[in-house]
């Protein structure tokens, strides 16, 4: 969960590294640092605890400059948030940065007697010591021999004193992508960072070593043979990475949702029917599986919960939705007729990646829904369906979530068609409703000031509840996570019918409660549950549909009316309303909405 960058070329490397580290800060922002080959051929390191902004200030007073270097922005795993524990780390002839976790670093420290020269508490510095131990003038050989001793995950970017203008890198599980253009050679943790100069890039294959300087980029396999990389092309326009005038990426990404949902579905509808020909997801795959299991984390898991409702109500097929971090320890029942769907924005979440690998070993057919082309989870899957959300920078996921939902609606419709559960006309009707969702989201966005007004009611709250039933409850689980992770208010989504079995004891005078009522068949019962909490003094903020006649709500409540869609499709406008709700609470509290405390955009540690 750190951001790493390496660059060699004709640009001023200091500015290049700092600007790119700011793009990567969403991956972790406890500390930052750079190393570069100075004009005298020496490798210089400047690093500090805190944000990249602090590092930039530190560098203003330094006179180091060059054209080759690397940088790191940290999410602390081993060792506190201190200047000493910031990356890059130096040991002997070696300078390096690292993203991942080395599980056997203590044994390595003992085995190679490194402790006398260690200055930090990190596993990373031990890795530098091991490479230094094996270094005898050949960097490729030293790297290869060292990584065979490491247990755990790593993306290492390494510089050697004897080759100061050359950047080396190697990875295992943690991501590194590479791009080469006339503006320089760049490697980093994500595609958006490397595709600053060219949309063409490649994923550094695991346990392959890359060696790059201003003149060349060479890729070596474990036997030391030079190999050619597989070139991919980013599916978004260069320069699409800025905030576009919004104060935070999150607001921009919320506003992009109608467009990116449209982009995600339009190429997969042919003559009104869902079509996955381009992804080569065959009808046999969708027809022959007798069980479906989703593995995902966080927001992606919440998308899976919506998929579960679709599978049960439209397909009549059982679908499990498992927390990826729990999946392999729950002894899941998997066989060759189980379709395991991994959902992940980054495609690098290690919990999801390991769950997918476990499912593959158990014989499952694997399909992943991913936003980043060529990501690790995509490469591990039998089939991949990409969302076209574009780069999602804010830690709180929004457009990735709704485009994941769009793919799940398409998949449901295709399965219903190939299994003969819905006739062609009914599938077309289903798809037409899906095509209405961008319009519905725009209606919500147009009324966002009303949501902002509702958000002000919870600015000072410590605890809130979000109550609803069925699909509304799934919507609220995601809405509750959004509120928690960016406003730090403890929010609990609760099946409203379950409240009376204990938790309602926590509802007291003026307890803020968000209620979601969008499902026709659940409305009356949900309204009863709302009256129960109102009777105990709760302040209810109700999200419901324009067509619902809502009577008997206590005057303390506010009502936001969502545009009408068929029940199953209300998830999309309702979710965007709750994204905006959480966004305004966090922004009005003065927090850095895009980079919430303790979090990172990509979780590459288990
Ligand atoms: C969502 O807002 C969070 N940032 C987090 O729960 C995220 O959804 C989760 O870590 C999964 O990430 P992924 O989609 O990249 O796998």
CATH assignment at residue 164: 3.60.20.10
Q: How many folded domains does the chain comprise?
A: 3
Which of 298, 387, 400, 477 maximizes ligand 1 atoms within 8 Å of its Cβ, making it the mutation to test the pocket? 298
CA distances from 320 to 291, 327, 342 (A): 8, 11, 12
For residue 554, the model assigns a pLDDT of: 64
The bridge status of strand 383-386 relative to strand 490-495 is: unpaired
Which phi and psi angles does 209 have, rounded to 5°? -105, 130
**Which tokens hold the place of 228?**
């050619």
The bridge status of strand 209-212 relative to strand 163-172 is: antiparallel
Same domain for 427 and 548?
no
Looking at per-residue confidence, does 194 or 17 come out higher?
Answer: 17
Instruction: Tell me the residue ranges of DSSP E strands in 374-462.
Output: 383-386
Which of 296, 299, 394 maximizes ligand 1 atoms within 8 Å of its Cβ, making it the mutation to test the pocket? 299
Same domain for 11 and 103?
yes
Give catalytic residue positions: 2, 601
Quote the ligand 1 centre to 286 CA distance (angstroms): 26
Contact present, 542 and 560 (Cβ < 8 Å):
yes
Confidence of residue 556 (pLDDT cuts 50, 70, 90): low
Domain that holds residue 564: 443-593
204 belongs to a structural domain = yes
Give 377-390 pLDDT, tens digit per residue.
Answer: 999 999 999 999 99
Of 206, 239, 272, which one is at a domain's C-terminal end? 239
Residue 172: enclosing H or E segment and its boundaries?
Answer: strand 163-172
Give mean pLDDT, residues 239-256.
Answer: 84
Percent of the chain topping pLDDT 90: 79
For residue 236, the model assigns a pLDDT of: 65
pLDDT at 578 over 60: yes
598 belongs to a structural domain = no
* Ligand 1 proximal residues by C-beta, below 6 Å: 297-300, 344-346, 349, 352, 395-397, 485, 602-603
The bridge status of strand 152-160 relative to strand 163-172 is: antiparallel
55 belongs to a structural domain = yes
Same domain for 212 and 311?
no
Quote the ligand 1 centre to 347 CA distance (angstroms): 10
606 belongs to a structural domain = no
For residue 240, the model assigns a pLDDT of: 58
Give 170-229 pLDDT, tens digit per residue.
Answer: 999 888 999 999 999 999 998 888 888 888 999 999 999 999 999 999 999 988 899 999
For residue 551, the model assigns a pLDDT of: 73
Cα 506 → chain centroid: 33
Same domain for 182 and 63?
yes
Ligand 1 atom closest to Cα of 601? 4
Contact present, 73 and 29 (Cβ < 8 Å):
yes
Give mean pLDDT, residues 22-28.
Answer: 80
Same domain for 422 and 483?
no
561 belongs to a structural domain = yes
Tell me, what CATH number does 503's domain have? 3.40.50.10490
pLDDT at 238 over 70: no
Residue 407: enclosing H or E segment and its boundaries?
Answer: helix 399-418
Which of 1, 346, 397 maximizes ligand 1 atoms within 8 Å of its Cβ, making it the mutation to test the pocket? 397
46 belongs to a structural domain = yes
Same domain for 416 and 448?
no
Q: How many residues does the chain have?
A: 606
pLDDT at 552 over 70: no
599 belongs to a structural domain = no
For residue 506, the model assigns a pLDDT of: 94
Looking at per-residue confidence, does 47 or 240 come out higher?
Answer: 47
Nearest Cα residue to atom 16 of ligand 1 = 344
Quote the ligand 1 centre to 208 CA distance (angstroms): 28
Rounded Cα–Cα distance for residues 253 and 354 (Å)? 29
Quote the ligand 1 centre to 400 CA distance (angstroms): 9
Burial readout 576-598 (b: 16 or more C-beta within 10 A, e: otherwise)? bbbbbbbbbbbbebebebbbbee
Of 405, 435, 465, which one is at a domain's C-terminal end? 435
Same domain for 429 and 304?
yes
Q: Which residues contact 368 (CB under 8 A, 6 or more apart)?
A: 341, 342, 343, 344, 347, 356, 377, 378, 380, 381, 383, 384, 385
As a whole number of angstroms, the longest Cα–Cα distance in the chain is 80
For residue 241, the model assigns a pLDDT of: 61
Give 300-334 pLDDT, tens digit per residue.
Answer: 999 999 999 999 999 999 999 999 999 989 889 99
Nearest Cα residue to atom 5 of ligand 1 = 298
Give mean pLDDT, residues 278-298.
Answer: 94
Alpha-carbon dihedral sign for residues 181, 348, 306, 271: positive
Rounded Cα–Cα distance for residues 289 and 380 (Å)? 19
Contact present, 91 and 125 (Cβ < 8 Å):
yes
Residue 443: exposure state from Cβ atoms within 10 A (0-12, 13-18, ≥19): middle
Rounded Cα–Cα distance for residues 131 and 48 (Å)? 24
Looking at per-residue confidence, does 565 or 82 come out higher?
Answer: 565
Same domain for 226 and 370?
no
Instruction: Tell me the residue ranges of DSSP E strands in 129-287.
Output: 152-160, 163-172, 177-181, 184-188, 200-203, 209-212, 217-220, 232-233, 269-270, 273-274
For residue 12, the model assigns a pLDDT of: 87
Ligand 1 atom closest to Cα of 481? 2
Give 579-606 pLDDT, tens digit per residue.
Answer: 999 999 999 999 999 999 888 787 776 7
Closest C-alpha to 73, from 95, 92, 39, 48 = 48
Same domain for 88 and 114?
yes
Ligand 1 atom closest to Cα of 299? 8
Of 435, 470, 491, which one is at a domain's C-terminal end? 435
Query: In the 8-state DSSP scheme, what is residue 88?
Result: P
Contact present, 3 and 188 (Cβ < 8 Å):
yes
Ligand 1 atom closest to Cα of 298? 6
603 belongs to a structural domain = no
Which of 27, 192, 322, 345 maximizes ligand 1 atoms within 8 Å of its Cβ, making it the mutation to test the pocket? 345
Same domain for 171 and 94?
yes
Query: In the 8-state DSSP scheme, what is residue 243?
Result: -
Confidence of residue 494 (pLDDT cuts 50, 70, 90): very high
The CA angle 280-284-286, to the nearest 5 degrees, is 85
Quote the ligand 1 centre to 113 CA distance (angstroms): 39
Closest C-alpha to 526, from 486, 485, 570, 491 = 570
Quote the ligand 1 centre to 397 CA distance (angstroms): 6
Same domain for 459 and 417?
no
Give 78-124 pLDDT, tens digit per residue.
Answer: 788 889 999 999 999 999 999 988 999 999 999 999 988 899 989 99
Ligand 1 atom closest to Cα of 602? 15
For residue 591, the model assigns a pLDDT of: 95
Quote the ligand 1 centre to 578 CA distance (angstroms): 17
DSSP 68-130: EEEEEEE--SSS-SSTTTSSPEEETTEEEEEEEEETTHHHHHHHTT-GGG--SS-HHHHHHHH
Same domain for 390 and 480?
no
Closest C-alpha to 180, from 39, 394, 7 = 7
**Which tokens hold the place of 462?**
């410590």
């Amino acid at each position: 969960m750190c951001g790493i960058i390496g660059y060699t070329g004709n640009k001023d490397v200091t500015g290049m590294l700092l600007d790119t580290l700011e793009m990567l800060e969403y991956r972790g922002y406890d500390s930052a640092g750079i190393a570069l080959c100075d004009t005298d051929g020496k490798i210089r390191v400047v690093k500090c605890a805190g944000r990249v902004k602090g590092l930039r200030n530190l560098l203003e007073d330094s006179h180091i400059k060059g054209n080759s270097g690397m940088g790191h922005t940290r999410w602390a795993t081993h060792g506190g948030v201190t200047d000493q524990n910031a990356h890059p780390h130096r040991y002997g002839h070696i300078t390096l940065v690292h993203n991942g976790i080395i599980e056997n670093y203590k044994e390595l420290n003992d085995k190679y007697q490194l402790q006398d020269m260690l200055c930090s508490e990190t596993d990373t510095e031990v890795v530098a010591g091991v490479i230094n131990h094996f270094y005898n003038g050949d960097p490729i050989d030293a790297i290869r021999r060292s990584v065979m001793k490491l247990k755990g995950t790593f993306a290492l970017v390494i510089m050697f004193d004897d080759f100061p203008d050359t950047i080396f890198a190697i990875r295992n599980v943690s991501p590194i992508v590479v791009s080469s253009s006339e503006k320089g050679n760049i490697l980093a943790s994500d595609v958006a960072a490397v595709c600053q100069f060219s949309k063409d890039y490649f994923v550094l294959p695991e346990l392959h070593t890359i060696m790059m300087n201003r003149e060349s980029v060479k890729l070596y396999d474990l036997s030391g043979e030079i190999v050619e990389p597989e070139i991919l092309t980013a599916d978004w326009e260069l320069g699409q990475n800025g905030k576009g005038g919004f104060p935070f990426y999150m607001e921009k990404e919320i506003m992009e949702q109608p467009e990116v949902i449209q982009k995600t579905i339009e190429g997969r509808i042919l003559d009104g029917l869902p079509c996955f020909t381009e992804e080569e997801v065959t009808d046999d795959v969708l027809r022959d599986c007798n069980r479906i299991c989703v593995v995902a984390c966080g927001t992606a898991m919440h998308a899976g919960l919506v998929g579960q409702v679709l599978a049960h109500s439209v397909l009549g097929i059982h679908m499990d939705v498992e927390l990826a971090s729990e999946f392999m320890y729950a002894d899941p029942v998997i066989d060759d007729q189980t379709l395991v769907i991994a959902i992940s924005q980054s495609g690098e979440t290690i919990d999801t990646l390991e769950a997918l690998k476990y499912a593959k070993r158990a014989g499952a057919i694997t399909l992943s829904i991913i936003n980043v082309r060529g990501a690790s989870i995509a490469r591990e899957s039998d089939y991949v369906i990409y969302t076209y959300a574009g780069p999602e920078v804010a830690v709180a996921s929004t457009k990735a979530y709704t485009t994941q939902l769009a793919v799940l609606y398409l998949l449901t419709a295709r399965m219903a068609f190939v299994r003969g559960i819905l006739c062609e006309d009914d599938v077309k009707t289903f798809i037409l409703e899906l095509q209405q969702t961008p319009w519905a989201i725009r209606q919500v966005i147009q009324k966002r000031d009303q949501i902002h007004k509702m958000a002000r009611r919870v600015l000072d709250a410590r605890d809130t509840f979000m109550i609803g039933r069925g699909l509304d409850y799934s919507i609220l689980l995601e809405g509750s996570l959004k509120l928690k992770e960016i406003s730090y208010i403890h929010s609990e989504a609760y099946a409203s019918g379950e409240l009376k079995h204990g938790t309602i004891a926590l509802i007291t005078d003026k307890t803020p409660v968000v209620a979601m009522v969008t499902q026709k068949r659940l409305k009356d019962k949900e309204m009863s549950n709302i009256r129960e909490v109102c009777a105990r003094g709760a302040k209810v903020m109700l999200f419901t549909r324009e067509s619902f006649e809502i009577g008997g709500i206590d005057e303390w409540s506010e009502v936001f009316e969502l545009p009408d869609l068929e029940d199953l499709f209300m998830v999309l406008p309702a979710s965007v309303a709750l994204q905006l709700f959480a966004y305004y609470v966090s922004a009005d509290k003065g927090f850095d909405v895009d980079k919430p405390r303790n979090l990172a955009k990509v979780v590459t540690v288990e």
